[in-house]
Amino acid sequence: MDPLVRREEAGGVATITLDSLHNRNALSARLLQELDDALTWAIEEPAVRVAVLTGTGPVFCSGADLKEQRSGAPVTTSLPDVLSLIWESPKPVICRLNGTARAGGLGLVAACDFAIAPEAASFAFTEVRLGVAPAMISVTCLRRMDPRAAAEYFLTGEVFTASRAAEIGLLTRAVPEDELDATVAHYAGMLLRGAPEALAVTKRLVREVPQVPVDEGFRLMADLSARRFASEEAQEGIRAFMEKRPASWVPHD
């Protein structure tokens, strides 16, 4: 069988592509397993510094595979694992939406560190209209979205635009379709200039520091800052800055 998820690496960037056109990249059991495998590869592969998650066709991801759901197959059992892999990845993950996303597909979007979509894309949390709830994806989506907007779209199932998705925090940016690849490449290029360990640490603090009381936050961050300045990465970065040269982790053109 042809794979439902393709993967490739070039210049430190792993591109992971949902390729299940027959069901609009729905989250079938097989696609989820292949996506889990591809994400694990990207995280463990030393050559990979940044991952880009995208899809083929006009739809990025249509959500759960409803045919499998009706048959009683355990379609969603691995979705939390996939979302956790993206969320906890020490390497930055960019979602390059090739088009529309619905329901469970929006959980993938929210799990990524960056999400770029064409302005023509549309979005909807359709679960309540099917008699279910956006349960598992709420774990990532509610950490990104404005609370009022989350209530509005979770409860109504209404379709909304890419510009609105950016406004409420679900997307990083909505751009004209002919600027999509250049925008994704821009973010990937900027991330490749960051030190790998520093990026992993910074990903964690972006998630965790807002939940920590202010006094404890200052104490924890003072300790973290001291450890980072003493690290080999920081010594190389500072030395490179003083010598007016790229740091050792920056890819050569």
List, by residue number, the catalytic residues.
Answer: 127
User: Read out DSSP for the chain?
Assistant: ---SEEEEEETTEEEEEE--GGGTT-B-HHHHHHHHHHHHHHHH-TT-SEEEEEESSSEEE--B-HHHHHHT--TTTTHHHHHHHHHH-SS-EEEE--SEEETHHHHHHHHSSEEEEETT-EEE--GGGGT---HHHHHHHTTTS-HHHHHHHHHH---EEHHHHHHTTS-SEEE-GGGHHHHHHHHHHHHHTS-HHHHHHHHHHHHHGGGS-HHHHHHHHHHHHHHHHTSHHHHHHHHHHHTTS--TTSPP-
Report the alpha-carbon distance of residue 154 to residue 172 in Å, rounded: 20
Bridge-based pairing state of the strands 50-55 and 13-18: parallel
The set of residues, in sequence order, having a beta carbon less than 8 Å from that of 56 and lying 6+ positions away, is: 17, 18, 19, 21, 25, 98
